[in-house]
Amino acid sequence: MSSLLKKEKGFTLIEIVLVLAIAGLILVIVFLALSGAQKSRRDTQRKTDIGRVAAQLEQYASNNNGDYPTTAALLGNFVAAYITPNATDYQDPSTGAQYTIAYSNGNAPATGTMDYMNGDDCNGATMQAGGGARSYALVISLEGGGTACRSNQ
């Protein structure tokens, strides 16, 4: 009779598996939340970087009678003079490579590329024509989806 009332010490296999399953579920949730937070941080960095390129465009304009680059060749000159010398300041947070600043072809920019268009303005997160000769728009793709647009208007 005494052996029937005696309880064994320790955990059963079912209890151990249940605890491991719960711990695994918690780790998956934390991993997914962390991944989303990292994307958000990188997108915030991209928005900051597009603002810094815009500031360099203003510097370019002040050195060129108020004119912004109007062709791909002039944009290349801008990049060579204002962005490339400070290349470490203009790097995509995902890859660490310097941003490519390209004259816009109207399509969404590729990852790590900022699209520039003279005479455009921003309509929310996209470019729209009609900004005027002394206006420009910069667009960059975001990891979280969509784009960010920055103009001088």
**pLDDT of amino acid 2:** 55
* Contact criterion met (CB below 8 Å) for 137 and 121: yes
**pLDDT of amino acid 93:** 92
Q: Where are the domains of the chain?
A: 14-151
| Run means of pLDDT, 10 residues per run, the chain, 153 residues | 65 92 93 86 94 94 92 93 87 91 84 90 82 86 90 86
What is the rounded distance in angstroms from the CA atom of residue 133 to the CA atom of residue 127? 15
Helical (H) or strand (E) element with 126: strand 126-129
Cα atoms found within 13 Å of the Cα of residue 116, Cβ hemisphere only = 26
* Contact criterion met (CB below 8 Å) for 50 and 138: yes
**pLDDT of amino acid 6:** 63
